[in-house]
């Protein structure tokens, strides 16, 4: 219930302000603003090859405002697991940027933007491992901010993102060998429209390079455990992948519906798996999960 109320409250606030902004803009002569919203559900929220929901389903929703000049801004909300983000049940992404065309080559475009991944109520201060609280008492928030730049050509695109601060609060105070500012994520994406049944073939490959590793000598607060994986892996770096198909369809003559099935995962099971630091519960539970497990993910949603 708290997750639902928080998600509704945050998105509701953004909806109100965004709608007011779009309405005012629309009143202007020759306004070129466009507002879209979306909602849906996923069987497992995989982001960059890692499950954010402890392999459980969740609901999601978002709002986007776009100007004909290429400017865009929006907000996206999703449920997440407090096992990964202690005391946080919701992720809220706030983003803005600009999309443009390179007129010298037909079909060639670019994008530049900023995104903030926010986890209301969650911080490293709440980190509890194997039932022992106060593991990282001086830790900060999970919130992460990135700048990004990308290019696209017809149905294929590439993008590079870099953190402007620490990567999900990873720093010396939280058991790492230093700050993780400058962490990068590089990705290649494809969305190829198939010639039948309104199907689109989806492909993705990405590479995470965290600017730091776990510090096995870390001690703080009630910390009784080394800041490392049982497997011995001290780096969260990986290559992730996703392949699948999506289908656009109507329900009762209403457009905007879309369903998809995708196979996703990443190749660093030693860190993100059951015996890895990233696969352990940070919320006091003794349970662990392979959050990089290769598995099928189902999605259903509508935009309007």
Mean pLDDT of 92-104: 96
Contacts of 255 (CB under 8 A, 6+ apart): 304
Per-residue pLDDT for 7 more than 80?
A: no
pLDDT value of residue 30: 57
Domain ranges of the chain: 2-303
Indicate the range of 1-5, 101-105, 109-113, 300-304 predicted with least confidence. 1-5
Q: Give CA–CA dist 283/299, Å, rounded.
A: 27
C-alpha pair distances (Å), 191 with each of 71, 144, 233: 22, 27, 34
User: What pLDDT is attached to residue 189?
Assistant: 98
Predicted local confidence at residue 3, as pLDDT: 42
pLDDT at site 157: 98
pLDDT for residue 95 is more than 90: yes
pLDDT tens column, 59-71: 999 999 999 999 9
- Sign of CA pseudo-dihedral 238, 213, 166, 59: positive
- With bands split at pLDDT 50, 70 and 90, how would you rate the model's confidence at 237? very high
What digits encode the pLDDT tens for the residues 254-283? Answer: 899 999 999 999 999 999 999 999 999 999
Structure tokens at 64: 């986007």
What is the spatial distance between Cα 276 and Cα 138, in angstroms, rounded to a whole number?
Answer: 23
Q: Which pLDDT belongs to residue 131?
A: 76
DSSP state, 194? P
Query: Residue 10 pLDDT > 80, yes or no?
Result: no
User: Is pLDDT at 52 greater than 60 in this prediction?
Assistant: yes
Q: Name the helix (H) or strand (E) containing 8.
A: helix 2-27
| pLDDT at residue 135, as a whole number | 82
Check whether 22 has a pLDDT greater than 90.
no
Give domain 2-303's CATH superfamily.
Answer: monomeric porin ompg (2.40.160.40)
Q: Average pLDDT over the chain, rounded to whole? A: 89
- Residue 130's contacts (CB-CB under 8 Å, 6 or more residues apart) are 225, 284, 286
């Amino acid at each position: 219930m708290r997750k639902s109320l928080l998600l509704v409250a945050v998105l509701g606030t953004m909806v109100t302000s965004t709608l007011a902004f779009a309405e005012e803009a629309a009143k202007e002569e020759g306004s070129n603003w466009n507002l879209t919203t979306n909602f849906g559900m996923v069987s497992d929220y995989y982001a960059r090859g890692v499950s954010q929901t402890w392999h459980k389903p969740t609901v999601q929703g978002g709002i986007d405002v776009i100007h004909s000049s290429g400017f865009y801004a929006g907000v996206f909300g999703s449920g997440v697991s407090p096992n990964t983000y202690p005391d946080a049940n919701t992720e809220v992404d706030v983003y803005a940027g600009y999309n443009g065309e390179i007129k010298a080559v037909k079909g060639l475009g670019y994008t530049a933007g900023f995104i903030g991944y926010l986890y209301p109520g969650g911080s490293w201060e709440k980190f509890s491992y194997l039932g022992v609280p106060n593991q990282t008492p001086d830790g900060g928030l999970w919130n992460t901010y990135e700048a990004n730049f990308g290019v696209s050509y017809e149905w294929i695109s590439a993008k590079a993102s870099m953190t402007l601060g620490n990567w999900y609060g990873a720093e010396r105070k939280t058991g790492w060998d230093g700050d993780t500012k400058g962490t990068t994520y590089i990705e290649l994406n494809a969305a190829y429209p198939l010639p039948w049944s309104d199907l689109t073939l989806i492909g993705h490959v990405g590479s995470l390079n965290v600017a730091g590793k776990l510090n096995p000598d870390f001690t703080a607060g009630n910390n009784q455990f080394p800041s490392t994986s049982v497997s011995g892996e001290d780096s969260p770096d990986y290559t992730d992948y996703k392949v699948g198909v999506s289908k656009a369809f109507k329900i009762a003559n209403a457009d905007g519906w879309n369903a998809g099935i995708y196979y996703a995962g990443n190749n660093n099971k030693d860190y993100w798996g059951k015996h890895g630091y990233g696969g352990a519960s940070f919320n006091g539970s003794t349970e662990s999960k392979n959050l990089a497990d290769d598995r099928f993910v189902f999605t259903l949603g509508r935009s309007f």
